[in-house]
Chain A
Amino acid sequence: MSDVLAVADHRRGELRDVSFEIVRAGRELAADLGGDLHLAVIAGDTEAFADRLSLAGVDAIHVVDDGVEFNHDLYAGATAALFEELSPTAVLMPNSVNGLDYAPAVANRLDLPLVADAVGLAYDGGLEATREMYGSKVETAVGVSEEPFAVTVRGGEWAAVEETADVPVEAFDYEFDESASGARVQGFEEVGAGDVDIADAEFLVSIGRGIEEEENLELIEELAEVTGATLSSSRPIVDNGWLPKNRQVGQSGKQVTPDVYLAIGISGAVQHVAGMKGAETIIAINTDPNAPIFDIADYGIVGDLFDVVPELIEQFS
């Protein structure tokens, strides 16, 4: 049998979206391979999670009932042990922040080739994965000539499976010695609270690294002022300390859904897009005609922000 093992992702009592997406990636791959899809659920309220993940196309759910939250030693150990038990052809893990913290260890431990951050998977006698490179400017096809193999899948690339089914749930006994783990989670902290909640804004003027210097931010502030927009930004602006963390849009920042998102000098990296693709109308100003932001934009200006923004301010003054 050429089975697929996929691992679910959850945090603070909630399954993360990628858990439902990885089921689709997994069941498509399992269909190509002609095998079963096994889903692993590790730590937390495994009973409730298994219940929610009893989805069409999943052949078996294996729960490791140990621990409350993600711990990479538990995840890496349990996934590797399950792999050895099931001998699948593929192990799929999410390319989430937690995935980044354990998937490479699983691949290394099992001596599997690893394709990270896949956005497409096909199997026809061998795995061919699709990945992006150079900040999403190009796509690549990646062939893997060895089996079994490990893949981490990018969130948001496969449609979530919602159709439920009656999937057998089995407890998988995995001995985890927490005291031997050299990494101990002490708690969580929410960051990025502040005076403004960009998630509430109807119109966001968002600035990226294209602004170059902190002084130039004044120009964008003026635009926000005359248009009544709320100011947000990509990550480098916050990393530089030019704007506070509560203004950051993206995977590790805020998710926003304004009526209009005006992205100025932002390339549209996947982690940025994760936070703003839900905007109703996306407008981008960028000097680079190949910037990935244009792929999701409704309106685009290929041009220099230092030429266009002053004219735009003029329009509203």
Chain B
Amino acid sequence: MKILVTVKEVAEAADDFEIEGTDIGEQFLEYDLNEWDDYAVEAAVQLSEEYDDVEVVSATIGPERSEETIRMALAKGVDRAIRVWDDDVAGADLDVAAKTRLFAAVVEEEEPDLVLSGVQAADDGFGATGVSLADEIGFDWAAVVNHLDTDDDLSTAHVHRELEGGIEELTDVDLPAVLTIQTGLNEPRYASLRGIRQAQGKEIAEFGLADLGLDADAVASPIERTAMYEPETESDATYFDGSADEQAAQLADVLRDKGVVSE
């Protein structure tokens, strides 16, 4: 069995940042493996430990810099990685449809039995690629999975989908399938030193559009970010200034005032 895990390097904005054009200035961004993908990687690696002959391949769309986060997945037990990138991809505003086309081409190449992806990416929060991909490649799917069991013959996944308000939907999904993974599904491991060393030797194959049998049309997108701005704060918060003990004293007064703390 082969499991494909889609992983994304996501950007996080520093506490103090400036917007330059339609994005936050590069110098204010820090990159990390998307939190939701970390749980997806762990789920895949656990399956590979539980069953014989499971290969875990990660796929990412990202620039050379993103190899750092991919190495993290490799260090945690992913067998090998694929990175999709070229000048056309770099120059495009990738929308869900474009990502779907790229990952669908990777799926065609790899023919996985199961695809795991994070529910959403922490930076742009679209939350759509996994299900869109499933529909495109004709796999079954389940979104927002926070519990996963598989039949011994790996024909069916028994999942919980985490709904709103503390309710979970129990669903059976036939494989092959795409599952979008919610945090809390498992406990993502830390990469061990040995894992990190081993990851250095693992393969990261680079694919451009042509390698995937695609051309620049595949990444043409009718969706374009036209502006970015800091939201007008609706806040009329009263801020407590001063040293920590002064701030705490003012806060204590409010709590007493509101009558929630009795002494």
* Residues of chain A having any CB pair with chain B under 8 Å: 11, 16, 70, 72, 76, 95-98, 100-105, 107-109, 111, 113-117, 128, 131-146, 149, 152, 182-192, 202-203, 227-229, 235-236, 238-241, 245, 251-255, 259-260, 262, 281, 283-284, 287-290, 294-304, 307-308, 311-312, 314-316
Which residues of chain B are within 8 angstroms of A289 by Cβ–Cβ distance?
A: 15-16
A78 to B77, CA, bound (A): 41
> Which one, B17, B126, B162, B245, contacts A311 given CB within 8 A?
B245
**Cβ of A283 and Cβ of B254 under 8 Å apart?**
yes
Which residues of chain B are within 8 angstroms of A109 by Cβ–Cβ distance?
A: 135
A299 to B253, CA, bound (A): 12
Asked if B228 is at the interface (CB within 8 A of a chain A CB), the reply is: yes
**Cβ of B171 and Cβ of A186 under 8 Å apart?**
yes
**Cβ of A315 and Cβ of B164 under 8 Å apart?**
no
A296 to B233, CA, bound (A): 9
Please list the 8 inter-chain residue pairs (A to B) with the smallest Cβ-Cβ separation, ordered nearest first. A182-B140, A311-B248, A146-B222, A315-B252, A307-B244, A203-B260, A104-B132, A105-B135
**Residue from the set B24, B130, B240 with the largest chain A CB neighbour count within 10 Å:** B240
Asked if B161 is at the interface (CB within 8 A of a chain A CB), the reply is: yes
**Cβ of B249 and Cβ of A128 under 8 Å apart?**
no
Among the 9-residue stretches B63-71, B82-90, B141-149, B190-198, the one with 4 or more Cβ atoms under 8 Å from chain A is B141-149
**Cβ of B262 and Cβ of A102 under 8 Å apart?**
no
A133 to B120, CA, bound (A): 12
A133 to B227, CA, bound (A): 12
Asked if B92 is at the interface (CB within 8 A of a chain A CB), the reply is: no
Among the 9-residue stretches B53-61, B93-101, B202-210, the one with 4 or more Cβ atoms under 8 Å from chain A is B93-101
A25 to B165, CA, bound (A): 23
Chain A nearest CB, measured from B219 CB (Å): 13
B200-243 interface (Cβ within 8 A of A): 221-231, 233-240
A269 to B117, CA, bound (A): 21
Q: A139-B229, A188-B170, A190-B167 are in contact. Are A113 and B135 (CB under 8 A)?
A: no
A101 to B173, CA, bound (A): 13
**Cβ of B125 and Cβ of A133 under 8 Å apart?**
yes
**Cβ of A314 and Cβ of B245 under 8 Å apart?**
yes
A132 to B95, CA, bound (A): 15
Chain A nearest CB, measured from B35 CB (Å): 8
A289 to B172, CA, bound (A): 44
Which residues of chain A are within 8 angstroms of B167 by Cβ–Cβ distance?
A: 11, 188-191
A76 to B219, CA, bound (A): 24
Chain A nearest CB, measured from B108 CB (Å): 16
Which residues of chain A are within 8 angstroms of B177 by Cβ–Cβ distance?
A: 182
Q: A101-B142, A140-B22 are in contact. Are A107 and B96 (CB under 8 A)?
A: yes
Q: A101-B143, A288-B15 are in contact. Are A295 and B128 (CB under 8 A)?
A: no
Chain A nearest CB, measured from B84 CB (Å): 18
**Cβ of A183 and Cβ of B140 under 8 Å apart?**
yes
**Cβ of A100 and Cβ of B237 under 8 Å apart?**
no
**Residue from the set A95, A141, A241 with the largest chain B CB neighbour count within 10 Å:** A141
A281 to B260, CA, bound (A): 11
**Cβ of A301 and Cβ of B249 under 8 Å apart?**
no
Which residues of chain B are within 8 angstroms of A146 by Cβ–Cβ distance?
A: 222
Residue of B nearest to A112 (CB): B97
Which residues of chain A are within 8 angstroms of B221 by Cβ–Cβ distance?
A: 113
Which residues of chain B are within 8 angstroms of A135 by Cβ–Cβ distance?
A: 12-13, 122
> Which one, A138, A202, A298, A314, contacts B237 given CB within 8 A?
A298
Which residues of chain A are within 8 angstroms of B160 by Cβ–Cβ distance?
A: 189
**Cβ of A239 and Cβ of B247 under 8 Å apart?**
no
